[in-house]
Amino acid sequence: MTQPEFYQQDRKTIARVSSELEQLEAELAETFTRWEDLESRV
């Protein structure tokens, strides 16, 4: 997504990839929260 060529694809592909990225970022944030919670118990 950092390459300008990415945005030359069809809109459905851009939307799908953007949605996937958003979902992965949310999962990553949840994972870090869980990690911090577990780490605080040690």
Mean pLDDT, consecutive 10-residue stretches, the chain (42 aa), reads 94 98 98 97 88
Q: What is the largest CA-CA distance in the chain?
A: 49
- In the numeric block, the tokens 């694809």 are attached to 9
> In this predicted structure, what is the pLDDT of residue 4?
94
Could you give the C-alpha distances from 18 to 4, 27, 41, in angstroms and in order?
A: 14, 14, 35
As to burial, measured by CB atoms within 10 angstroms (0-12 exposed, 13-18 middle, 19+ buried), residue 31 is: exposed
Give the domain extent around 9: 4-40
Query: What is the reported pLDDT for 42?
Result: 85
| pTM beyond 0.85 | no
Domain tally, the chain: 1
